[in-house]
Structure 1
Amino acid sequence: MKLYIKYMVSQRCKMLVRKELDNLGITKVKVELGVVDILEDVSMEQLHRLKANLKVSALEVIENKKDILIERIKNVIVEMIHYSDELPKTNYSDFLSEKLNYDYTYLSNIFSEEKGITIQQFIILNKIEKVKELLLYGEMNLTEISYRLHYSSISHLSNQFKKVTGMSPSLYEKMSAKRKSNLEGL
């Protein structure tokens, strides 16, 4: 039995899901990116208790097929941008189609219809969040960040950053540094 659980891709959430399953005596499981594959029979009572326990932690079991697919698309994108050391060599549409075994046009239409933005816009928003994170760490300069996230140029990255955040990457970096020094002074 496969359960699709809506949760942020993080080790903490994954551990929380695994703990809830263990507490219910469900031990033969495979927990991955938003998906729990239960390899044993589960009673309806166990399933209802799991749903209730996860809800308390702001996690939910998704049962609608469209919602499941949307979550899978989002999880693949988030994992690809935030948790992978290297972005795919192919274009995003081919990568998503291959990873999810669906035609990209189908994925794109469902995503846009349900979320109100395109997959490409969702990818851009996540890339900009990653840029912000990398700028905060201060271990990479804009050229290195641009290369790592497969931007065609620093100018392209800067234009997208400004369009999404309303400020340039350098201004964001300065404001973050000032905020950090203010917090250290407390």
Structure 2
Amino acid sequence: MGQTLIIKNMVCARCKSTVIELLTRNGLEIESIELGKVVVKQALENNYNAIKNGLKDLGFELIEDESKVLVEQIKVIVIQSLSENDSEPIISKITKEIGKNDSAISKLFSKSEGITLEKYIINLKIEKVKEYIQLNQLNFSEIAYNLNYNNSSHLAKQFKSVTGMSMSEYRKLQDWDRKELDQIV
């Protein structure tokens, strides 16, 4: 009988590859994998501690608490939405996929992470802006459009509020101050 594993900090394709390698090295067959979630064909049983410790050594965490599982699902939805330049409002997407109203989701997230869901989304968007600026492929208006801002001035105000500098000032920096997505809380 298979088992579903919810894994914290699994936020990119490289993370998935790392987790696949760890699980297969420990004799597990993977049925499916997506950000934050792996279904293996057999129960962990004897491998449980080795898998849990192996994940921890790699910067991941096996999540078992139901509320933490929901919070991790929320984070994955937000990260995927930003990566896909999805035009659907992120909160709407979360409520649809999680099956709870936005108030319950916000309370759960805030209680678990010590930051509001809205602030978390803004922080992720700002990191995405930094990435776009670093790639130097889009102007500020295009970046704002890709991240579903109504206009670039709203994005500019948020960017300055979070980073303490304008997007133009950030663009001129030689030392790019970017955070890893799994480190944003």
Which bin holds the TM-score, normalised by the shorter protein?
0.7 to 0.9
Q: How does 1:37-186 map to 2 (within 5 A)?
A: 37-38=39-40, 40-81=41-82, 83-84=83-84, 86-89=85-88, 91-176=89-174, 179=175
How many residues are matched? 174
Contact 2:71 2:109 in 1 (8 A): yes
Contact 2:9 2:60 in 1 (8 A): yes
Aligned counterpart, 1:15? 17
Query: Counterparts of 1:12 and 1:139 in 2: how far apart (Å)?
Result: 23
- Percent identical pairs in the alignment equals 34
Query: Counterparts of 2:66 and 2:141 in 1: how far apart (Å)?
Result: 41
- Unmatched 5+ residue regions in structure 2? 177-185
Higher relative contact order (CA 8 A, sep 6+): 2
Shift of 1:132: 0.8
- Which TM-score applies when normalising by structure 1? 0.87
- Unmatched 5+ residue regions in structure 1? 181-186
Query: Counterparts of 1:68 and 1:158 in 2: how far apart (Å)?
Result: 34
Shift of 1:34: 0.5
Shift of 1:43: 4.5
Letter in 2 for 1:98: K
Letter in 2 for 1:88: S
Shift of 1:175: 1.8
**RMSD across aligned C-alpha pairs, in angstroms?**
1.6
Query: Counterparts of 1:130 and 1:55 in 2: how far apart (Å)?
Result: 26
Query: Counterparts of 2:28 and 2:105 in 1: how far apart (Å)?
Result: 32
Question: For residues 111-167 of structure 1, what are the alpha-carbon distances to aligned partners after superposition, in whole Å with 9 as ceiling and x for unaligned?
Answer: 011212211111111111111110111111101111111111111010000000001
Contact 2:156 2:167 in 1 (8 A): yes
Letter in 2 for 1:4: I
- Give SS of 2:165's match: coil
Contact 1:20 1:53 in 2 (8 A): yes
- Structure 1 range deviating more: 131-140 or 113-122: 113-122
Contact 1:5 1:60 in 2 (8 A): yes
Aligned counterpart, 1:183? none
- Give SS of 1:139's match: coil
The 4+ residue runs of structure 1 with deviation greater than 6 A are: none
Query: Counterparts of 1:34 and 1:95 in 2: how far apart (Å)?
Result: 17
Whose Rg is larger? 1
Query: Counterparts of 2:166 and 2:44 in 1: how far apart (Å)?
Result: 54
Aligned counterpart, 2:181? none
